Amino acid sequence: MAKKILITGASSGFGRGAAIELARRGHKVVASAETWPQVRNLRADAADAGAELEVIKLNLLDGIDIAHAATYDPDVLVLNAGVMESGSIVDIPMERVRDSFDINVFGHLKLAQGIVPKMVARKSGKVVWTSSMGGILVIPFVGIYCATKHAIEAIAGSMKAELAPYGVKVATVNPGVFGTGFNDTGAESHVQWYDANRAVVPMPDFGTALADQFDPREMIDAMVEMIPADEHLYRTMRPLATIDVAKQWQETEWTQDA
């Protein structure tokens, strides 16, 4: 059955791919992009793909944009937008930390607080949080990004328990290292403030870590199947090999020395 789906962060990457494909499959998709040029580009991309897609502007630092998005009443709310800021924990400017939490966590939480009460009232609906492998493990020098995703894991887990009695489901999407461009821009996001001569902890070269990223189609395909589905696992992590890495990390947390 066709679903009404609202997806944030659909101007690129997983959000764009999932939004267009879900619309092509007949779902009524509202996709958000951060800026007006991105809105227009996404509309054009959807038209080229033969997808009927409603596109709205949603900057998660803009209360007016959030209030407008909250007027929608989707069957599925996909909280997918995000930013990655690189830098060591002791060097990264607090402005970058606050922006990361405001966009990845607080803006989405505000949107959820506007939409989820409608789901509770009708006793149906689903909220999908895009977390990350970084919501399970920790990647040095993108620790603030991982911190926002750990926060999302806690919020999603709490929401799942709190909303289950009212017929509202909650799930997470946990991508590994995929070649959407997101990791690449995150890896260089420190260049405007970083000073190697003053840094407490020097930044590494991310080149090797980003050299062999996975094809994002695997994650997009999994999202397209999971988002409208009535039955599926709570966590959808891809690539599949990342699941073992995440489980091994969790084991290590209980055995490693300080």
Q: What are the catalytic residues?
A: 145
Instruction: Please give the backbone phi and psi of residue 32, each rounded to the nearest 5 degrees, phi first.
Output: -110, 150
**Closest of 48, 101, 58 to residue 78, by C-alpha:** 58
Q: In a 10 Å sphere around its CB, with 0-12 CB exposed, 13-18 middle and 19+ buried, how is residue 120 labelled?
A: middle
* Tally of CB atoms within 10 A around 200: 8
For 1, other C-beta atoms within 10 Å of its C-beta total: 7
> Is the CB of residue 116 less than 8 Å from the CB of residue 164?
no
Q: CA–CA separation, 35 vs 158, rounded Å?
A: 31
181 - beta bridge partners? none
With a CB cutoff of 8 Å and minimum separation 6, the contacts of 38 are: 11
Q: Closest Cα to residue 49, out of 10, 27, 11, 23?
A: 23
* Pair of tokens at residue 34: 């951060």
**Token reading at 171:** 């799930």
Q: What is the DSSP letter of 104?
A: I
User: What is the per-residue burial (b if ≥16 Cβ within 10 Å, else e) of 60-88?
Assistant: beeeebbeebbebebbbbbbbbbbbbbbb
Beta strands in 8-116 (DSSP E): 28-33, 53-57, 76-79
